[in-house]
Amino acid sequence: MSKKTVTDDISAEVRLELYRTQVRLREAEQRAFDLFLQNLVKGTSHLSLGQEAIAAGFAVAMQKGDLSFCTYRGHAHTLARGVPVEKVLGELMSRDNGLMRGKGGSMHLTSVEHGVMGSYAIIGAHLPIACGAAWRAQYRGDSDVSVCFFGDGTTNIGAFHEALNFAAIWKLPVVFVCENNLYMEYTPIADVTAVEHPAADRAAAYGLERIIIDGNDADEVLRTARKAYERARRGDGPSLIEAMTYRHSGHSRADPAKYRPEGELESWKKRDPIKMYRARLLKLGVSEAVLNTIDQEIKDEVEAATVACKAAPAPSADIIFTDVYADGGWAWRN
């Protein structure tokens, strides 16, 4: 290959979008953590600090109309589809300006208008649901792809295996993305799994290719996503992708992550996806000023969102009884 330029199979524009998205996720998640320390984020929250390249790469490769299915660790995937930071932080802060006005909370971020079809807090539940959305696309001849994100720990629950077989036999346009961050909650995935690569080493059982990628390299993620989406749109069926990564924070906000061996976090921080991506862009000739401008714009965006959320009222009590049923209410009797 000749001298690298900022545009190859990935355009300069897309590369800057990958950078911007990763920085947005990083800043928003860091802010969520800070707000938690100030007791302004209630309930639990599961951050994707360190895993931003996966959310960014898969989302940037999507087309409008493609659908994301996320877990409780879903802030990043939700933001990556273009949901405003204010809507996400508002939900985390139990404010009326939140994505679901506080009715769902951190673990259930959903924005149908952005293609974010839900964040699911029961391990494995959304893999079959993503199959169903993909089945609808196949049934109607729609061209959208359903993309389902989950963790390494999820590969040991039955729904994972049911969904993979189901998607494979029906050749559904669904892409399963395992973010292998080496841990379930507190237990290393290697301690509880029969194979080394919890997702990829199971792919053969469903007639699928064994795909393992560097989940901290946004370009590699984007390329893998594009291939899988094309395959799905061609009607060639599902893909299962295992993206290796690491979470910089604990499992949830309550977790100081004392179970990690010494030096593990530090070594992964050297492979921080955003640091690496910034360095790559600079090497490819993007000017520092351009990147600094993006950094500043995102900082301003997150700051403005925080200010708006702090000023937003709490949700009003009347929404307690709305939307249990399709008539908008909760009546179960006459």
Partner 1 sequence: MAELTYRDAVARGIAQEMARDPDVVLIGEDIAKAGGVFKATVGLYEQFGPRRVRDTPISEQAILGAAMGAAMTGLKPIAEIMFADFAAVCWDYFANEFPKSRYMTNGQVKTPLVVRLGNGGGARFGAQHSQSVENWCMMIPGLKVVVPSSPIDVVGLMAAAVRDPDPVIFLEHKSLYATKGEVPDGEIVDTLGTAKILRPGKDATILALSLMVPRALEAADRLQAEHGIDCEVIDVRSLVPLDTQTILASVARTHRVFTVEENPRLCGWGAELMSIIADEAFYELDGPLVRITTPHIPLPAADVLEDLVIPNAARIVETVLRTLSN
Tell me how far apart the alpha carbons of residues 313 and 269 are, in angstroms, rounded to a whole number.
Answer: 38
The residues, ordered by sequence, that sit 6+ positions from 95 with a Cβ below 8 Å of its Cβ are 102, 309, 312, 313, 314, 315
Among ligand TPP, partner 1, Mg ion, none, partner that 100 touches (CB below 5 to 8 angstroms by kind):
partner 1
DSSP letter assigned to residue 216: T
Stretch that binds ligand TPP, among 25-33, 35-43, 128-136, 144-152 (CB under 6 A): 144-152
Q: In 3-state terms, what secondary structure has residue 71?
A: strand
Tell me how far apart the alpha carbons of residues 234 and 48 are, in angstroms, rounded to a whole number.
Answer: 31
Tell me how far apart the alpha carbons of residues 158 and 105 are, in angstroms, rounded to a whole number.
Answer: 26
Stretch that binds Mg ion, among 44-52, 81-89, 124-132, 145-153 (CB under 5 A): 145-153
> CB of residue 69 vs ligand TPP: minimum separation in angstroms?
14
Looking at the Cβ atoms of 90 and 105, the one nearer to ligand TPP is 105
Residue 123 phi/psi, 5° resolution? -50, 125
Residue 319: other Cβ atoms inside 10 A: 13
Tell me how far apart the alpha carbons of residues 46 and 78 are, in angstroms, rounded to a whole number.
Answer: 13
Build a one-symbol-per-residue string for 87-106: x at contacts with ligand TPP by CB under 6 A, - elsewhere.
--------------------
Residue ranges in contact with partner 1 by CB under 8 A: 67, 99-101, 103-105, 108, 110-112, 117-118, 120, 122, 124-137, 139-140, 146, 158-159, 162-163, 165-166, 169-170, 319, 322-326, 328, 330-334
Looking at the Cβ atoms of 78 and 181, the one nearer to Mg ion is 181
> CB of residue 81 vs partner 1: minimum separation in angstroms?
14
> CB of residue 236 vs partner 1: minimum separation in angstroms?
19
Stretch that binds Mg ion, among 8-16, 114-122, 128-136, 151-159 (CB under 5 A): 151-159
Which helix (H) or strand (E) is 177 found in, with range? strand 174-180
Q: What is the dihedral of CA 282, 270, 61, 181, to 10 degrees?
A: 180
Query: Which of residues 185, 209, 300, 303 is near ligand TPP by CB under 6 A?
Result: 185
Build a one-symbol-per-residue string for 50-79: x at contacts with ligand TPP by CB under 6 A, - elsewhere.
-----------------------x------
| Residue, CB closest to ligand TPP | 151
Q: Does 21 bind Mg ion (CB under 5 A)?
A: no
Q: Does 177 bind ligand TPP (CB under 6 A)?
A: no
> CB of residue 54 vs ligand TPP: minimum separation in angstroms?
11
Q: Bridge-partner residues for 147, per DSSP? A: 68, 175
> CB of residue 49 vs Mg ion: minimum separation in angstroms?
13
Contact (CB, 8 A) for 212 and 182? no
The site that binds ligand TPP (CB under 6 A) totals a number of residues, namely 14
Q: Does 154 bind ligand TPP (CB under 6 A)?
A: yes
Residue 66: other Cβ atoms inside 10 A: 22
Tell me how far apart the alpha carbons of residues 182 and 185 are, in angstroms, rounded to a whole number.
Answer: 10
Tell me how far apart the alpha carbons of residues 281 and 287 are, in angstroms, rounded to a whole number.
Answer: 8
Among Mg ion, ligand TPP, partner 1, none, partner that 192 touches (CB below 5 to 8 angstroms by kind):
none
Binders in 224-253 for ligand TPP, by CB under 6 A:
251
Residue 140: other Cβ atoms inside 10 A: 9
